[in-house]
Structure 1
Amino acid sequence: MLNFNKALDLPPQLQWKYANELELMEWTIRARNYNTFAANSIFYFMAALILGGSFIMYSVYEGMSQPWRTLSCIFFFIFILFTISCMTHQRMNFAYRFTRSGIECCEWKDFPKWALTFLKWFSGIAVIIFIYLATIDPTFLIGALIGPGSMGLMYLSMAHSKTYQQMQTQYHHLMYEWKDFTQLAIATNREVVDLKFCHFDPRLGRIVKWNLNIFCKRKQKEAVANFIKPYLSPDVPFIKAKVNVPMSTD
């Protein structure tokens, strides 16, 4: 029996189907279950735009005292970049459990309510600070509109958009028998062991051919793949290859 990490408690929406069977391998991990190259590219592109916006702010604040002028622009750049990173670097919780019956995977992501609280208080405090600074230098009113104003709008859109909150909340339970798998691959481009499968999906009422990405740490890929191999049919290919990591869907 191999346990890479202490198992996390599953949320009440998810339960193991074969909880009565002894686990052969079990671990949990937080991973980015999407195309990270595209997400990173968006992040760097937005970072360049925000940097340009910071320089524009710096030129607008020409009459401001130098320390506050520099600090306000740095604050704007760091906060907006942090906000963008929360969108492009999101992670999902994964729990894997291998038994004699097959592989179970539970995936979940809860809506980050802490982000709403943080935005509300941070924007409120920032508004007070900028209004106070505006009594010293009126140009700080522009900073209050750009910085705390944008944070307030972001908070309102996140707090009152059910669609956005549903997009940030996911619960999936996946179950595959060993006989379903048709290819085993160690990914060369991600910390992933990839399993192609073919089985009948009772929910869809048809045969489904797709792949299961098993996320793990870089040094664990070989161990996971070698552990899985004996449970597969002898004719199942075992390869190393670049694999795609599509976003999970219901």
Structure 2
Amino acid sequence: MAVDQTNALLQVRGITVRFGGITALDNVSFNLPKDKVCGLIGPNGAGKTTLFNCLSRLYDYQEGDLLFDGQSITKTPVHEMANTGIGRTFQNLAMFKTMSVQENIMVGAHSKSKTGFLGGMWPTSKTRSEETDLKKRADQLIDRLKLTDVAKRPVGDLPFGFQKRVEFARALASQPRLLLLDEPAAGLNHEELSDLADLIKQVRDEMGITVLLVEHHMSLVMSVSDWIVALNFGRKIAEGTPEQIQKHPEVIRAYLGGA
């Protein structure tokens, strides 16, 4: 069973990536349904992050195409990706550690800014108004992600779990239609995992954002995902609902080495 392309926000069509003589992704195809959470799973080395880097246009692919809302993004430059409606977090945090929580989130919002370099050097009433709007958007996310008490603190002074939440908010600040979450549960404790699951569902249900999630924490993936795609050795081995994936013999074999 697969997602009908008429209901797909993202279409991955036969993506193949080679690094020298190594095939990292081998003819991978699937459709990502609109307004859903899709989990992308597989053992280490399965090709999950490689696919994410293709979706972010950090990697080129030798074969295939990526369609976002029916339009190919294969030739879209990296610096234009945020404007297409795709946001992303990364495995390794890349915060501006001496800047405040609010300022870091505003950096994400600036991808929607109309102010150019000269406008930033010599502010006008228009640029000041836009800056006020960006700050308002950041403050709304600060409130939504429960960061109000630390909004003015430097990100580098905060515990790891708070920093992950700031990165999440920064990705949301670009107002994406598709949010790519790259191992968001890494390093989180049990309570933080529960908060993350609630946040992912909130993004889907209240903000109407489609989510593609790469994660090794299987209980989190199964609890938040509407649809799951499984990779192994660069190939798609299964896709379906969480219930279907948990029973799929190829997925069981990939993780456990046998039936």
- TM-score scaled by length of structure 2: 0.25
- Work out which structure has the larger RCO, using CA pairs closer than 8 Å and 6 or more positions apart in sequence: 2
